[in-house]
Structure 1
Amino acid sequence: MKIKKALMLIFMLVALTAGTVYGSDAAGVNIGKVNLGESYVFSQNTSGSSFFFMSQSNFLNRHKGSLVFFKSSSIIKGKIEGNIYCLFSELVMEKEAMVSGNIYTLSSIVSVHGNASAKVKAFIVFEKLFSNIYSINGYKVYSDVLPAMVIIVFLSVSRELICLILLGFKKGFFEQGSVLILKEPFGILHYGLFSYFILIALSLMFLMSVVGVAIAVLIGIFVFLISLNGQVSLNMTMGDLITNQLNIKAGPYVNAVIGGIISEIMTFLPVVGLIFNFILMPILCLGIFFTNIVNGFIRKRFYETPYDLNINYNKNPGTDDIRNIVVKDIK
């Protein structure tokens, strides 16, 4: 019953926020929404702030409002009354096209015809390092495409640094999470799968309207932050398993670094990397976090960790270990 009530509440929220996709007003056809993975040709006057994700678009007339392109390509032949934001995209300003605001780019290519009117500004951090301006066939081309390796290294290093900072704030919490992976794997999968699919479904439903985009963005930020928390524990577990196999005594920070390097390497692998990065990792990280929350704040269940007693739970006791246990209190 509780699950049914929760689902009913979710669908009520979606119904309230994901309303009109296309409408009309005095400025023209309202296209204020998120456009996903399709090809669009706008021959009429249009209005509304719009987000294009992995899409192709062609604006033949006037548009009132800002446009955001992410991993997309677009051709502008009319007038855009607003700003254009190009993120990892390609934009072509044809003859007599006009943008009343600015065109802001990040790792994108913008081609502006000699008779077009547009001001292109690269993302300030990368402008001097990677921007390039040249002319070809009557077009002035602005390019600030970042090398793929720069993006990958920057994201990987940033993610692992954040994980180490989080570990420093709440070490005991993440140590408990690292033990849960071995103690309660099915509980982690249960919470992880449930939360993963619920959050994905909510994000997709809210993305159907501009009103819901803000909520979808908040959900995405929430998933990212929760996943980072879970990744700290996952990194510690992977590092712990490796150092134990090598009979190396390591603390939580060393294990977290080793596990972080392993997880980043996994993301580079073809096919496997995509599955690991977008399915397996989020499910495990969400599951670790929520299981840890339930155990710590609801069940009040805590496990001893290898870091509590400096013992190796994965190592079979040998003769020396048994002798030390027996004679520990004998002088």
Structure 2
Amino acid sequence: MTGRTPAADALELYDRTARDAAATVIARYSTSFAIACRLLGPRPRPHVRTVYALVRVADEVVDGPAASAGLSTDATRAVLDDLERETIAAIERGFSANLVVHAFARTARECGIGESLITPFFASMRTDLAVRRHDEDSHSAYVYGSAEAVGLMCLQVFVNAGARRIEQPPPALADGARRLGAAFQEVNFLRDVEHDTRALGRDYLGLSPGGLSRDDVLDRIDDDLAAAAAVIPDLPRDCRRAVTAAHDLFAELARRLRDGGTAGGRVRVPDIVKARLAARAWAGLSPLRERRR
């Protein structure tokens, strides 16, 4: 053969292609996240995209496409198990034939994302194949794996992308990352409660008369958003705008959920409001603080 690419250049090209694949996943599945991600600096941006691409692919495995392709629950679980094993193996060897996994593995190696965060995430994804109604304990475990651990992965990126050596984030930032992830997840639970119940047969919140109410969940969300907002100024400068934009988008969703519920369909933030929130974040304004009514 002629025109063979040198090995080092070939890996660089493969890395770029893998990162482009991750960016495509995010652009197709989450316009809101894609907007927020553009507010990140060039140092953390590609790494955060790779984290969310892997998370999205795993989430899609359990949320419909696999079943639509004719896979049984056991077969879907096997696909998810294979994805977890390939992810961990790719981190160890620095390569995967799966482009999204490869991109994530390169990020994990550079930023110090290990099995202590990956294993709980995949455990929560497996829960979606087995648990239909969550109690308080299973809810907490699910939220940790599916959302808080992802927030901690992103924090590892914020602190370590491009650094000479990996450092552990300060405890206050770790708590803020967890609470912001939890708030995002619980907003989505409330937005999707009808779809989750009717289409997927899942009850994540266990709302009931005389028990946990929507207002209880919204109060918890507001508390978590406030705690996260307090530490956003302590993040690296090239991450603050994007995290502020994401925080403010979910604060706006929480406000609309409190005002209008879900009677009119899935609560959304209009594009013009998203643009306004992104603009204020770009201007360096502080995160929004929602006053509970």
Hey, which of these two has a bigger chunk of strand by percent? 1
Structure with the greater alpha carbon radius of gyration? 1
Normalised-by-shorter TM-score class: under 0.3
- With the length of structure 1 as denominator, give the TM-score of the two structures: 0.21
TM-score for the superposition, normalised by structure 2: 0.23
